[in-house]
Amino acid sequence: MLVTETNRKSVMTPEEILSLKVLTDSQISPDGKQAAFVVSDNYKEEGTAKPRSNIWVAGTADGRVTQFSSGQRTDYMPRWSPDGSKLAFLSDRNESGRFQIFLLPMNGGEAVQLTEYKNVGEIMQLEWSRSGDKIAFLMYDPETDEDRKRFEESGGAVEYEKRHKFARIYVMNVATKSVDWQSSGNYHVWEFAWSPDETSFAAVVAEEPYEWSWHISSLAVIDMRTPQKPRIIYAPRPRQIARIMWSPDGSELYFISAIWSDRGLVAGDLYSVPHSEEKREQKPVNLTNESLGSVHFYQWYSKEELLILSVNWARSKFTILNASTHKFSDVYEGDVGFADIFQPKFSISSPEYGARNVAVVREDLSSPVEVWSGEVNPLKDTILWKQLSDFNKDLKEKYSSSMRSDLVEWESIDGLKIQGFLYLPPGVNKYDLKEKLPLIVNEHGGPSMGYGHRFAMEARYYASYGYAVLLPNPRGSAGRGVKFLELNRGNIDGDDFKDIMAGVDYCESRGWVDPANEFVYGGSYGGYLVAWTVTHTNRFNAAVMDFGIPNLLSCHGAEWNTFWEVFGFDIDPYKQRDLFQKKSPIYYVENVRTPTLIIHGREDPCVPLTQGNEFFRALKELGVETEFVIYPREGHGWIERKHRLDAWRRHLEWFERHKNKPSSKL
């Protein structure tokens, strides 16, 4: 689209995308009267560990919003003490990248530093004891004098996966700042939950402390009297488990399970299992079994009831489940997203205070992220919502009414119904188009992610330049239950790609898009899909593969979560190498005619830089137009300000350069 003085005001700049304030980790106070949350930049500056952020607090009754912490780097992970008088949080205010636990009283005063650790990995989880006098946290083993000596004497040799540094649970006395207990033994803890009687921890544990080991973790109970020997309760294969929680009486453990591509992308069914020695052979009970779609998060609503947050066919739901009778009661369903970064999440006030309030980070197709509170009324099957923050007011006012976005549905090759979200240029209505639009398809990663009712700044950026932007949720996406999520198992012929192409066909058949001007991009598994797309069709004018995977076998040997495709695709890489080849785009690269831009982070541990190298070298030697851009200091995706701005500009310039230059179709 030619930018003129007439439409210049509606064009979004990359700087405007970065102006979006990122709101996360909404934590309601025990009495439900206040919500603490994190407000962070949408980028980080070179030389800092994470984006700058602070903790804010909002009153749920008066809506008064105040900044609570004032660190100059990153303050995050706020956690209320059980009596609501204090907030614990993490901060690297004293040394960039070195996060410590701090404590702030709600009645004012300076933050008190509780930990002073050196040479350790990042603290990953905080949880107060029910009594309120202790804090449990998860932290990696420190570097020892022996480690430093060995490193110096060897000239910096790295003994790969040989000398394990485990993440362990530590218990600190808040008053004395002393650690009175820690887990021990040769096992790694990925997450934990403190038992109601404070004598044990439920934990997701693995034998080795590497990202791939999360995929083969087990549910265990760690008795504080015998911290070196976790008792395994359940070891699912090929599925994973997360979001572990105790029942209020301590008799059962709860968790969410399904096959996931990445740690943190939690969407599945909710299970319970007894944890006592007498019932250790009993199998977990599936409490939801597809009935709520994809369960993402849950908390105890009362001593017998759970409040569950799920997504079903892109609609967010809150449901109360009676743990004894297994009866469900829906209290909210709507076209909104409760995403906290990628995953739906909420917090809930304590049962003993009476009225039940929740705090969420909420957005929808016309409103960017803000913090909301909700009063749950189970008698009327409703939640009364109230917006608390207004950090992204200017973006909402400028772009919510002028740029239309809609949920669209179509049938795939086998009749399976697929959903996606279509974003249109300012002032354009798909029911009254004056001319067909160029189309950009954004293939999401995971694959166990899913697009939802979100403000999607990046999609709006491209739409502001005159493009229709399609965000499809093919089979394998979250938001439709476990069966849909696991449809990529045995999917050797790329049916998720066919789902997406059926969506492109649908947009063409409705007369919305111009078949001569279609583009595609995606990152991570979305980058894999881009590589698969350009090796299986030449209908796109141009493509961008962001940190994508062209070769599954070489990626398997070098990536950090090496089991995701083994379980996700149900392929053994060494016993079924032919299937790994059949599923890898690099083995079809001679078919590519589509100009392809490749962008990758130099330090990516998830999809190694060599994946970009492989695809670039193949395309260049075969005479396909290609460019390869590598960002220093970046991992899986890019977060530095200059890199984010540069990437969005490169994407748009690549698409604009190849308008009206379609590849010949296969």
The rounded distance, in Å, linking the Cα atoms of 89 and 349 is: 18
The values of phi and psi at residue 493, to 5°, are: -90, 10
The rounded distance, in Å, linking the Cα atoms of 303 and 285 is: 19
CA-angle at 184, arms to 80 and 258, nearest 5°: 65
What is the pLDDT, as a whole number, of residue 7?
Answer: 52
Name the nearest CA neighbour of 523 among 544, 499, 494: 544
What is the pLDDT, as a whole number, of residue 662?
Answer: 62
Residues whose CB is less than 8 angstroms from the CB of residue 353 and which lie 6 or more positions away in sequence, other chains included: 30, 31, 32
The values of phi and psi at residue 522, to 5°, are: 180, 160
Question: Does the pTM of the predicted model rise above 0.85?
Answer: yes
3-state secondary structure of 13: coil
What is the pLDDT, as a whole number, of residue 379?
Answer: 79
Contact 562, 593 (CB under 8 A): no
Q: Given CA atoms 264, 192, 256, 309 in this order, what sign does their dihedral have?
A: negative
Mean pLDDT (10-residue bins), the chain, 666 residues: 50 95 96 96 89 96 93 94 96 92 90 88 91 96 91 93 95 96 96 96 97 96 95 94 96 97 94 78 90 96 95 96 94 92 88 87 96 90 94 92 91 97 91 89 95 95 97 97 95 95 97 97 98 97 98 94 92 93 97 98 97 98 98 96 97 97 56
What is the pLDDT, as a whole number, of residue 359?
Answer: 97
482: Cα within 13 Å, side-chain hemisphere: 17
What is the pLDDT, as a whole number, of residue 9?
Answer: 65
All structural domains of the chain = 117-286 (2.130.10.10), 396-657 (3.40.50.1820)
What is the pLDDT, as a whole number, of residue 665?
Answer: 45
Contact 630, 612 (CB under 8 A): yes
